[in-house]
Amino acid sequence: METILGFVTSALWVILGIGLLVFIHELGHFLAAKYFGMRVEQFSIGFPPKIFSKTVGETEYVVGATPLGGYVRVSGMLDESLDTDAIHQEPEPHDYRAKPVWQRMIFITAGVIFNAILAVLIFAGISFSEGDVYIPMDGVEHVYVVPGGVADDMGMKTGDRVLSMNGQPVERFGTLMNLNSVVEKDTLRLTVQRDGKTVPLAISRDSIIRKVTRLNNSDRPELRGRAIGIGIDPPTVSQVSEGYPADSVGMAAGDRIVRVNQDTVRYFEELIYRVNTAPSDTMQIQWLRADSVEAVPANAKSVQRLGDGTVYEATLATQNREGQRVIGVAGPISGAYEVKREPYSLAGAVVAGANQTWDFTRTTVLSLKRVITGQDDPRDSLGGPVKIVEITSSAAAAGPSQFWRIVAILSITLAIMNILPIPALDGGHLIFLLYEIVTRREPSTRFRLMAQQIGMILLLAFITFLIFNDLMRL
């Protein structure tokens, strides 16, 4: 029952996220059409078959059973429906064709603009509610370097202390965890302190993007979403999930995991790495429990006295969750390092939201450019509907803030994909309008019809590839 409830909850969050993105995109087209006096025949969220339909005035409002897109059908426009009946008639005043080019351009780009605005508003809302939260870098004396990550590739070692980035002192630890910050320049240059010596490190932007893209789609949970692949959290347990392996051996909040099999654990990120790279799903875990906690683990044995605590050991079998091994513990929430929070004003939050939207837009465009130019393998770099469902579901499980952050990022991605100059997408229609401005005449109906058909075939083939690629990575 719990599994079914969890699945239903995740599905509802996914439908909410994707449905909102589609609704906002189509709302942009709808409002622009209404403002310029175009007749809207149909406003649909989702593709056929219909599960709900209601006509109000001249517009039929539809909810389709396939929630991966939507459309606004305007009179006199040759769109993805490939309906040419109205094209061969003289345009009515309310037809798309009867409107000036600049109005048609606004109508075509309105969906993309609304998706960008949605991302700004979501990021602004998160910034306003949470404030500017950060860990001052002067309190971070050393970092853990995840094997196989960007930091590892550039020569950073566990125990290094980061002094500067691109010639400037690093004031916040989050700067090193923010992909937009580390790819700001063509080459990322870090200066670290190691064994009393200053060591310069460098890696190209292209190498960072290639590595991060590949790792975000890999089976390396300790490297997903961690930019250059470093961590500072101690392996202290803040929560134990009921019914998971850690719970079965009596582990509790406040315990500090110190060993996995024969490997010492000093950081929570290292714990994730050790658990997921152990030779077997069954492993020995040791943890330190302070003497102030009177309870003794039920299914563990005492192996050592250490300071003001006792080290316990137990053998447990990990569970698999979304492609990674888990033992059912959460890392430290706070307390390991000083955390500062500076509130945003409303205007400041909007500026922060706009900056984050721009940063993610720039990074997404750079990644897409690398795929188009053949620098990155699309199988490693692109995700389709299955991947979107997986990411959205995981974000929902992590909490409202993470869920809405993912929705904002997906909104940016939807905007960028829709503005690509491909027939059947908004960008394709925009190209036709630019051609009309330059030549002072529309492309022929025959050419537009053929371009739309080719665009639809390419789009369907692309979506099929993405779905197949997603399934192969499960």
Q: How far apart are CA 360 and CA 412, in angstroms?
A: 7
According to CATH, what is the number of the domain 137-231?
A: 2.30.42.10
Average pLDDT over residues 25-47: 94
Sign of CA dihedral 149, 154, 159, 162: negative
Which range (187-196, 289-298, 398-407) has the least confidence?
289-298
Domain ranges of the chain: 2-127+410-472, 137-231, 239-330
Q: Collapsing DSSP states into helix, strand and coil, what is residue 236?
A: strand
pLDDT of residue 85: 61
**Mean pLDDT in residue range 416-424:** 90
Nearest to 408 by CA among 117, 23, 84: 117
Q: Dihedral of the CA atoms 236, 241, 246, 247 (nearest 10)?
A: 120
In DSSP terms, 268 is beta-bridged to none
Check if 137-231 and 239-330 are the same fold: yes
- Residue 285 contacts residue 257 (beta carbons within 8 Å): yes
Q: Which residues of 239-267 are buried (b: 16+ CB within 10 A; e: fewer)?
A: ebeeebbbbbbbbbeebbbbbbeeeebeb
Q: Is the predicted pLDDT of residue 84 greater than 80, yes or no?
A: no
Confidence (pLDDT) at 473: 67
d(CA 317, CA 324): 13
Homologous superfamily of 239-330: PDZ domain (2.30.42.10)
In degrees and rounded to multiples of 5, residue 425 shows phi and psi of -110, 165
- Maximum CA extent, the chain: 90
Residue 418 has pLDDT above 90, yes or no: yes
Task: Give dist(CA 383, CA 391) in Å, integer.
Answer: 10
The SS3 call for residue 446 is helix
Which residues sit opposite 16 in a β-bridge?
Answer: none
* pLDDT value of position 181: 87
Handedness of CA 125, 129, 131, 133 (dihedral sign): negative
**Looking at residues 412-432, what average pLDDT do you find?**
92
Predicted confidence at residue 180, as pLDDT, reads 83
Per-residue pLDDT, 129: 95
The predicted model gives 265-277 an average pLDDT of 91
Q: Which residue type sits at 374?
A: G
Q: Under a CB-based contact definition with an 8 Å cutoff, are residues 318 and 245 in contact? A: yes
Cα pseudo-dihedral 402, 406, 411, 415, rounded to 10: 140
Half-sphere exposure of 289 (CA within 13 A, CB side): 17
Q: Say if residue 343's pLDDT is above 90.
A: yes
Select the more confidently predicted residue: 80 or 16.
16
Quote the mean pLDDT of the chain. Answer: 87
Q: Using one digit for the tens of pLDDT, what is the confidence trace for 113-144?
A: 999 999 999 999 999 999 998 889 988 889 99
Beta strand extents in 235-348 (DSSP E only) = 239-240, 256-260, 263-264, 282-290, 301-306, 309-317, 319-321, 324-326, 329-330, 340-342
77 pLDDT above the threshold of 80: yes
At position 440, the amino acid (one-letter code) is R
Q: What is the mean pLDDT of residues 455-469?
A: 86
Measured over the CA atoms of residue 409, residue 220, residue 150 and residue 379, the dihedral's sign is negative
